[in-house]
Structure 1
């Protein structure tokens, strides 16, 4: 039986509800120094605002080692009533000290991911630190700009191994929306991860209809996230891409997320648009363009399928 693995336990997919399929409550990377997401009160306020608009679930794609605050996620979920799916995995090498990456690879990266998915996530960013009881519900990996470096290839291989051991879905950061075909070729083509266990992120940043159709033909989920950022494709291109993919028969593979990565992008404590924007602005636009049934698929049915798995026991 399929289930969504939340920080409070496994959940039947039909109980997930309206979902922000890719976002961040906590995040700390060198490239965004001074704009860290590290305020629990601000995270709770953002979640509560999302919940007040009908939001019921958020997938936090922050992986290990970049300030995900795994220990605090269960309390946030209880306080707001919003289901949280957390991530294990690794981002690009530039976000980590080299000695940490060397240690993780030496100790066995796939085993590390499996432990976080089945036994519980580490409470902090220290691989020798305490482990909490909240389990990760997905694996987060990352490509590079128009390609894959050695670190990305090693992480993709470990993620594939962990998927085969547990059934966990894999979410992919694509730098500026690029290299999605390369990533799919490695995860699905080379390592045999089923396409419907792969969530390809940031495709709104590279609005190429031909590439989108090629990716959709594989059966993978296509995530359009981070709306209303001036340095990315604008919302009208995002909606245009979603409409084109729906017309091509791929409504059942589309996901939307806010991808809030800086404190200034929060709705309540920054300049926005934040998590509420998805439901306040984008959902009505999708309903006008595609109809209520399609909008329900993008916000409810599709995330439930994409984030659920037939979980296997700890090997």
Structure 2
């Protein structure tokens, strides 16, 4: 039996439709609260909802919210947006990356996690099996004690390094994947350490066809992308609109390079829209509508000019590939 697990329950893969594969909708990361970084706090449900509504109005049907527990997710608010707009949202169990783990654990989570003060303390003192059990519960019972279940499991690593605690969470997530069959997503810092993540996952006997690797466009290296694609993993180009990192022409060329090598079935596209200044209804940014309304037509045009079928590729990146990538196969 194959299904995709959303916050509103399990659906058939063909019900997912046009999907952004990596976004953040409502979250208040304590790490950024402590640093006074208001731009990184998506803390107004109604403003977030308006941006999601823009995406939906242009034909969007589903969003994968990649916010893990250590990034201050608001499960209830995101579930309400899903219900109010009748839009599928996939939640995320697991962890982000080690530099965020100085964040304080909310008091209401301590009965679930244990009486630890910070995520670093929890991850350091808990066993891999205990962390695995926690991730499994978030997939099979619900996120943070709610009845709303995660549809993927996540781990992350730092820039050009993987710390011992990140290895620990990677192994816990890999083992939770084996128990639940949930798809696996990884955070890479600036697109680095993807191949090293893969070697660690291989040591945990993870089938890499269950894996999507984030932020590949932050490291626009076609050779590197090809080495990852050869393993069977999905590559997530999830920095669309972030021109401070690279122009869209670079991202599009990297994607088309993979397509030309036969890897079009392993590409996901999204925006990782995690700042107020990226959102239209918080601070006049391009918003969640940008990819579907403006980037997609540009991609189709460029792809067609280079001899590809742009519309067919968009169908793969936003419909067919997410439907496979985020499926539980039991």
TM-score category, normalised to shorter length: over 0.9
Q: Which has the larger displacement, 53-62 or 264-273?
A: 264-273
Deviation at 1:282, TM superposition (A): 1.8
Superposed, which structure 2 residues align to 1:136-285 within 5 Å? 136-187=150-201, 189-285=202-298
Quote the residue 1:5 is aligned against. Answer: 5
TM-score using structure 2 length: 0.88
Output the CA distance in 1 between the equivalents of 2:126 and 2:189. Answer: 26
Structure 2: 5+ residue runs without aligned partners?
103-116
Quote the residue 2:113 is aligned against. Answer: none
Say whether the 8 Å CA contact 1:62–1:68 is kept in structure 2: yes
Output the CA distance in 2 between the equivalents of 1:60 and 1:206. Answer: 22
Quote the residue 2:321 is aligned against. Answer: 302
Deviation at 1:100, TM superposition (A): 3.2
Output the CA distance in 2 between the equivalents of 1:81 and 1:258. Answer: 21
- Among residues 126, 141, 162, which one is paired with 1:106 in the alignment? 126
Superposed, which structure 2 residues align to 1:64-75 within 5 Å? 64-75=69-80
Deviation at 1:219, TM superposition (A): 0.6
Output the CA distance in 2 between the equivalents of 1:73 and 1:271. Answer: 21
Deviation at 1:42, TM superposition (A): 1.1
Q: Which has the larger displacement, 215-224 or 103-112?
A: 103-112
Say whether the 8 Å CA contact 2:82–2:88 is kept in structure 1: yes
Superposed, which structure 2 residues align to 1:17-96 within 5 Å? 17-29=17-29, 30-31=31-32, 33-35=37-39, 36-96=41-101
Output the CA distance in 2 between the equivalents of 1:141 and 1:266. Answer: 25
Output the CA distance in 1 between the equivalents of 2:83 and 2:234. Answer: 29
Deviation at 1:261, TM superposition (A): 1.0
Output the CA distance in 2 between the equivalents of 1:140 and 1:38. Answer: 22
Q: Kindly tell me: are residues 69 and 171 of structure 1, through their superposed partners in 2, closer, same or farther at Cα, counting changes over 3 Å?
A: same
Say whether the 8 Å CA contact 2:269–2:317 is kept in structure 1: yes
Quote the residue 1:128 is aligned against. Answer: none
Deviation at 1:133, TM superposition (A): 0.6
Deviation at 1:196, TM superposition (A): 1.2
Say whether the 8 Å CA contact 1:256–1:299 is kept in structure 2: yes
Output the CA distance in 2 between the equivalents of 1:5 and 1:74. Answer: 13
Query: Greater helix share, 1 or 2?
Result: 2
Say whether the 8 Å CA contact 2:48–2:281 is kept in structure 1: no
Per the alignment, in what secondary structure is the counterpart of residue 220 of structure 2? coil
- 1:115 and 2:137 are equivalent in the alignment: yes
Deviation at 1:214, TM superposition (A): 0.4
Deviation at 1:57, TM superposition (A): 0.3
Deviation at 1:190, TM superposition (A): 1.1
Deviation at 1:193, TM superposition (A): 1.1
Quote the residue 1:126 is aligned against. Answer: none
Structure 1: 5+ residue runs without aligned partners?
123-130
Deviation at 1:74, TM superposition (A): 2.1
For 1:178-210, what per-residue CA distance to the aligned partner results, in whole angstroms no more than 9, with x for missing partners? 1111111111x2111111111101010100000
Output the CA distance in 1 between the equivalents of 2:277 and 2:78. Answer: 21
Say whether the 8 Å CA contact 1:62–1:140 is kept in structure 2: no
Output the CA distance in 2 between the equivalents of 1:8 and 1:117. Answer: 13
Per the alignment, in what secondary structure is the counterpart of residue 153 of structure 2? strand
Say whether the 8 Å CA contact 1:51–1:81 is kept in structure 2: no
Deviation at 1:95, TM superposition (A): 1.4
Say whether the 8 Å CA contact 2:195–2:228 is kept in structure 1: yes
Per the alignment, in what secondary structure is the counterpart of residue 68 of structure 2? coil
